[in-house]
Amino acid sequence: MALLAACNGQGDPAAQTNSAPAASAPTPPSAPAVPVGGPKRLVLAFGDSLYAGYGLARGQSLPDALQTRLRAAGIDATFINAGVSGDTTAGGRRRLAYTLDRLERRPDLVLLGLGGNDVLRQVPPAETRANLEAMLAELDRRRIPVVMTGMLAPPNLGPDFAGRFNAIFPDLARQHDAPLDPFILQGVIGNRALMLPDGVHPNPQGVERIADRLAPLVARRLAALPRDDQ
């Protein structure tokens, strides 16, 4: 179950320090001083501890790393970190509309990454699917494009649970025309050099490895948007 604990930060002071509270508007990370061009893009990173930056210093979260890469590539993107450690898809469903309504303007893109804590708590996959479907429907209604980061269930939960859970992300990504990174911890989980001492959360080097894989996916999605889309 170590894989699943990667998203669970409830009750951990470090997790609470690095997560954005659902009751207040998230704060954009500091922008790196690099030349950028093209239209200004606003990206909302909406997820759990893997977005919030569990156990990391300010400026070391995944949204920070993605913003740095895109700006270095000349994409004028600002990421708002709306990751909350310990959040489930049910929690995300409850706070999504509130979070969107609190932003100064509609984001150009939402990076959506929830589901790991559902596995940890063995929430029925049908409920996880319904919650993610509701969030994607809300984003569709607001005409906000999405990039999804997925999670996988460990084999010890049994083939039935794993099969039903693992199908959720590719199914919904296909239905909602959302680019998908199938497993956010791919290439990081199990590598001690890329993990915090707890063995389940990425350290700064692990976050950089994940960002290396995700940045081109996000960049391609932003590039496909109309230049005057605000």
pLDDT tens by residue, 54-104: 999 999 999 999 999 999 999 999 999 999 999 999 999 999 999 999 999
Q: Is 85 designated active site?
A: no
pLDDT score of 202 more than 70:
yes
User: What pLDDT, on a 0 to 100 scale, did the predictor assign at position 42?
Assistant: 98
> If pLDDT is split at 50, 70 and 90, which confidence band does 36 have?
low
| Strands across the sheet containing 37-47 | 75-83, 37-47, 109-113, 146-149, 180-181
* pLDDT tier, 22 (very low <50, low <70, confident <90, very high otherwise): very low
CB neighbours of residue 10 within 10 Å: 15
Q: Considering the domain 4-223, what is its CATH architecture?
A: 3-Layer(aba) Sandwich (3.40)
Catalytic residue (one of 12, 48, 49, 108): 49
Residue type, 13: P
Condensed to tens digits (0 to 9), the pLDDT of residues 43-61 reads: 999 999 999 999 999 999 9
Q: For residues 17 and 207, what is the distance between their CA atoms, to the nearest angstrom?
A: 18
Active-site residue flag, 201 = yes
For residue 227, give the nearest of 34, 40, 36 by alpha carbon: 40
pLDDT score of 28: 44
In this model, does residue 163 exceed pLDDT 90?
Answer: yes
